[in-house]
A and B are shown apart, each in its own frame.
Chain A
Amino acid sequence: MDVVTAPVREKVAVFGEARGLVGILTLPASEPPPGAPCVILLSTGILHRVGSNRLWVTLARALGAEGIVTLRFDLSGIGDSERRREVGSLRESVERDIAEAITYLHSTQGADHFVLVGLCSGAYDAFHAALGETRVIGAVMVDMPGPFQTWRHTAHHLMARVLRPASWRDPVRKAALYAREFLGARQPAHDHGDGYVVGGRSSVTREQMGAELGQLLGRGVKLHFAFTPGIETNYNHRTQFRHTFPLAARHPALSYDYFPEADHVFSAPSSRAQLINAIVTWIRR
């Protein structure tokens, strides 16, 4: 049964080789323009396809109102999707899930081009899936953990702490801590073995990600990054991406946004509306 939430229709999608993946397909009320890409919204961490604060529900419906087909689904073992029975790494599982989502959209919607959208771990998944999937023509990465830290990032980080009154309760210890941080002697990233990290630090080097950006841009993939200060150890000022990847930042197919008032999950309705508007506008282009 289709759900009509004017001006979109929603239907349940059960797909995959084992029919173990569950999602919601959001269709525009009218036929989408020929050649229009389908958008795939990836689940984040343990949160299912709805997204934090129904972010993905609202985004999918907004895209549908603009004539864009969207699939938001649960990665294997998350939400209502089954775990994969075959043994493999988390990275392999995610990539197969995304491949099956693409196959599903191709077979049911006739789509040949896809845009991946993800937040946090989902952003990391979107970026890396795009590397191996040539049918992906665009990707939106929201608060993606990555090797974005620069000396400016550290300076911003320390300045914010210095200006906090609580920071001065133990001045000697704090001074030593700041010196250690500024000199880069920070704790190593906690790597889950597939490149995903905890706490906003990345085990992927800047050189590696730079090469990956070059690979995607060289293939003609359009990329959009959106950041918040929500994971302050990851990103904390507007121009940070430009300083981290100056070459990629100048590429016409790459854009980036910074939402200084938003938290990591866009709790404030106004922040969510801004993000959704930015993504819809970018995808329409």
Chain B
Amino acid sequence: MNPFFFGSSRRQLFGAYDPPREGGRRGAVLCYPLAREYLLAHPTFRHLARLLSSSGWHVLRFDYYGTGDSAGDFEDAGRDLWLADIETAIDELKDISQLARVSLIGMRYGAVLAAMAARRRRDVESLVLWDPVPDGRAYLSELGVTSRTEGASSGAEADGAVFSDRLLREIQDTTATSVPPQGLPRTLVLGTCGPIDAFQALHTHLATGGADCSLEHVPDVPVWREEWGRGGVGMAVAAATRIVTWMS
């Protein structure tokens, strides 16, 4: 695994590149969830990257602007910036691997971003939406977003992250039909916890709109929510394994 910074000098992004163990004809960019979900999902993303790397994939996971080790602050970021970051990551992986096309894997709101980014490009060959957020308002409620009470600042807070008014609107506007299906590559909607019905509307929207989209349920740990003590780490092993199989 090779950690490094990439992108423009004004918006440096942190990335972790896993080269393929052998072969190397496929590449994947991993799109994290947001805020505390990012922290909790980090071990699973590392595990997924290693699985893919062992299966012959070039893999790049990266932190969006204002998150993780990347430059900037969360409250200054938003959907458009992050979509641009995904595109920068795609270009970076293509440059490293000399591949013409890559795949995108996103979890939770990262899945929403991955789908939106995939539509902007002609070089995304497959897309995995891992427990995507089908309802932005419900998602914000689940995060426990509350209005800021400190000073005259606007926006809202959830689990320590400050959401700008603009980002709140962008997330609130997220629904199962937010991403038009036209132009999407081969797509897997993967649900791991809760009723699969939660993703049915999204799958129906994409499939009836002409996207090559499948829906699967792989019971596993909701890694973006759980937290473990020092004695062990929980990871969505079954879901990660299924993703690698589907992509291969």
A248-265 toward B: CB 8 Å interface, digit per residue (1/0)? 000000000000000001
Q: Is the CB of A52 within 8 A of B5?
A: no
Complex-state Cα separation, A22 to B5, whole angstroms: 13
Given known contacts A121-B230, A268-B160, A269-B162, is B74 in contact with A14 (CB within 8 Å)? Answer: no
Q: Is the CB of A50 within 8 A of B160?
A: no
Q: How far is the CB of B48 from chain A (nearest CB, A)?
A: 14
A4 proximity list for chain B (CB < 8 A): 9, 12
B150 proximity list for chain A (CB < 8 A): 268-270
B229 proximity list for chain A (CB < 8 A): 45, 198
A270 proximity list for chain B (CB < 8 A): 150
B36 proximity list for chain A (CB < 8 A): 52-53
B12 proximity list for chain A (CB < 8 A): 1, 3-5, 10
Complex-state Cα separation, A2 to B228, whole angstroms: 34
Which residue from chain B places its CB closest to the CB of A273 in the assembled complex?
B150
Which residue from chain A places its CB closest to the CB of B159 in the assembled complex?
A267
Complex-state Cα separation, A22 to B71, whole angstroms: 18
Cβ-neighbour of B227 out of A46, A90, A121, A196 (below 8 A) = A46
B186 proximity list for chain A (CB < 8 A): none
A267 proximity list for chain B (CB < 8 A): 157, 159-160
Complex-state Cα separation, A12 to B3, whole angstroms: 7
Residues of B61-103 at the interface with A, using a CB-CB cut-off of 8 Å, are 67-69, 71-72, 74
B161 proximity list for chain A (CB < 8 A): 53
Complex-state Cα separation, A135 to B68, whole angstroms: 30
Which residue from chain B places its CB closest to the CB of A72 in the assembled complex?
B69
Sort chain A's interface into a size bin: 35 or more
Q: Does A24 contact B (CB under 8 A)?
A: yes
Complex-state Cα separation, A135 to B194, whole angstroms: 51
Which residue from chain A places its CB closest to the CB of B6 in the assembled complex?
A1
Complex-state Cα separation, A54 to B5, whole angstroms: 17
The DSSP consensus for interface residues of chain A is mixed
Given known contacts A22-B3, A192-B231, A198-B229, is B160 in contact with A48 (CB within 8 Å)? Answer: no
Which residue from chain B places its CB closest to the CB of A124 in the assembled complex?
B230
Q: Does A66 contact B (CB under 8 A)?
A: no
Given known contacts A3-B71, A50-B68, A54-B74, is B157 in contact with A268 (CB within 8 Å)? Answer: yes
B153-164 toward A: CB 8 Å interface, digit per residue (1/0)? 000010111100
B138 proximity list for chain A (CB < 8 A): none
Q: Does A235 contact B (CB under 8 A)?
A: no
Q: Does A229 contact B (CB under 8 A)?
A: no
Cβ-neighbour of A53 out of B9, B69, B159 (below 8 A) = B159
B179-220 toward A: CB 8 Å interface, digit per residue (1/0)? 000000000000000000000000000000000000000000
Complex-state Cα separation, A267 to B72, whole angstroms: 18
Complex-state Cα separation, A11 to B72, whole angstroms: 15
Q: Does A32 contact B (CB under 8 A)?
A: no
Q: Is the CB of A12 within 8 A of B160?
A: no
Q: Is the CB of B3 within 8 A of A57?
A: no
Q: Is the CB of A46 within 8 A of B71?
A: no
Q: Is the CB of A196 within 8 A of B5?
A: no
Residues of A1-53 at the interface with B, using a CB-CB cut-off of 8 Å, are 1-5, 10-12, 14, 22, 24, 45-50, 52-53
22 contacts between A and B (CB under 8 A): A1-B12, A3-B71, A10-B12, A12-B14, A24-B69, A45-B229, A46-B43, A46-B228, A47-B39, A48-B39, A50-B69, A53-B36, A54-B67, A54-B74, A80-B3, A121-B230, A192-B230, A192-B231, A196-B230, A267-B160, A269-B162, A272-B160
Q: A10-B69, A22-B3, A48-B39 are in contact. List 15 more A-B contacts (CB 8 A).
A: A1-B4, A1-B5, A3-B12, A11-B5, A14-B3, A46-B228, A52-B160, A53-B159, A53-B160, A80-B46, A198-B229, A265-B160, A267-B157, A267-B160, A270-B150
Interface set of A (CB-CB < 8 Å, partner B): 1-5, 10-12, 14, 22, 24, 45-50, 52-54, 57, 79-80, 90, 121, 192, 196, 198, 265-270, 272
Interface set of B (CB-CB < 8 Å, partner A): 1, 3-6, 9, 12, 14, 16, 36, 39, 42-43, 46, 67-69, 71-72, 74, 150, 157, 159-162, 227-231, 233
